[in-house]
Copies of this chain bind each other. A is one copy, B any other.
Amino acid sequence: MKYNKKKNKCNGNRERDYGLMNPTIHDIAKRANVSISTVSRVVNNPLAVREEKRQRVLEAIKELGYEPNPFASGLRDRLTKTIVAIIPDIANPFYASMFRGIEDTAREQRNNVMICNTDRNEERFFEYMRYFKKKKVDGIIFASDPLKEHYYKGFEELNIPVVLAATKSEDHLLPYVKIDDYQAGYDAGMFLIRNGHKRIGMISGPKSDPIAGQPRYEGFLASLKKYERLADDSVVFGDFQYDSGYSGMGKLYGKHPDLTAVFAASDEMALGAMAFLQRRNIDVPRQVSVIGFDNIRFSRMITPPLTTISQPIYEIGKEAAMLLYDWIENRDTIPKGKQLQHELIVRDSVSNRNT
């Protein structure tokens, strides 16, 4: 319903008497016992309002049936029709797939997407924030890195919707789209166990990474401990990139030449592990099996093709953008986060030892 200011102004009192008119922002403020500007902030920038106050305002809005329609006040015209994807590493093909998902959703909205590559550099991040404060964008998708507290503050200042893709915040109510990394790590372990592997190692991401590091590590360990298949001291830590997988495999192999299988917490580290083994004429998977994580474009192109846990990267991007547009269109409702399903992609890099 289009909110018609003029009409309400003329007939306001009469309609209010009959309870027919939409309640105004004044009515909400009165009922929730807050200032008008607080109501406005809850509608336009809910993140900037304390949880408890926000709840009170939201309840009043519900009780009185207030319909804050941002598009009535010309907000739709003020939209830039541009959203931004903030990614940590443009060279990682993982983000290319995610971007395709984001872009396809934006296309449906006839919107544009700008990519900002931070290189995990804080200065760059804040330069972008300054730029967007001036030029305006409609919303942001923040991809994959842990959301640091001062990053969150940066978003808050922009006063626009922000959705997290392949990451999540424990401290803030931002919507996210990601998989269950703990369960995925557990499933990787179970797959190796079901295939009869008895001495298993892992090349993990950093334990300090609460998204792709710790949960995959803990999930994997949980499965192995359950079946007592973990070799002592058979976890090494890398940074998700190729070289750390290569050197990590070297360390593991030096300590445990009897390992029959290794789980790498990223496909790039898995490629590094495979390269280490193959270049020493250790057959993959006959002698050592390798399972990765991510299902990047190249994981099917190597020989043997890599068995891996697939994150639905494209869908994560697509869903994140859909949540973002939901929020842009209904600024008073923060959309709920979504957990997407991971998938085990069985190719040829894990052997079956049961037969």
> In chain B, what residue has the closest Cβ to A246?
B301
A75 CA to B275 CA in the complex, in Å?
54
Question: Contact size class for A?
Answer: 35 or more
Q: Which residues of B contact A128 (CB under 8 A)?
A: 112
Would B96 and A100 count as touching, CB distance under 8 A?
no
> In chain B, what residue has the closest Cβ to A114?
B114
Partner of A303, one of B99, B116, B278: B278
Query: Would you give the shortest CB distance from A165 to chain B, in whole angstroms?
Result: 16
Would A297 and B99 count as touching, CB distance under 8 A?
no
A90 CA to B313 CA in the complex, in Å?
14
Would B117 and A99 count as touching, CB distance under 8 A?
yes
Would A275 and B303 count as touching, CB distance under 8 A?
yes
How many copies of the chain does the oligomer comprise?
2
Does A266 touch B at the CB level, under 8 Å? no
Q: Which residues of B contact A278 (CB under 8 A)?
A: 303
Query: Would you give the shortest CB distance from A115 to chain B, in whole angstroms?
Result: 5
Would A279 and B297 count as touching, CB distance under 8 A?
no
Query: Would you give the shortest CB distance from A131 to chain B, in whole angstroms?
Result: 6
Does A1 touch B at the CB level, under 8 Å? no
Does A103 touch B at the CB level, under 8 Å? yes
Name which of A278, A301, A302 has the most chain B CB atoms within 10 A of its CB: A301
Would B91 and A97 count as touching, CB distance under 8 A?
yes
Residues 104 to 121 of chain A near chain B (Cβ within 8 Å): 107, 110, 112, 114-117
Does A271 touch B at the CB level, under 8 Å? yes
Query: Would you give the shortest CB distance from A177 to chain B, in whole angstroms?
Result: 19
Does A272 touch B at the CB level, under 8 Å? yes
Q: Which residues of B contact A298 (CB under 8 A)?
A: 271, 298, 301
Across chains A and B, which 7 residue pairs bring their CB atoms closest together, nearest first? Answer: A278-B303, A91-B96, A115-B115, A114-B114, A90-B96, A271-B301, A298-B298
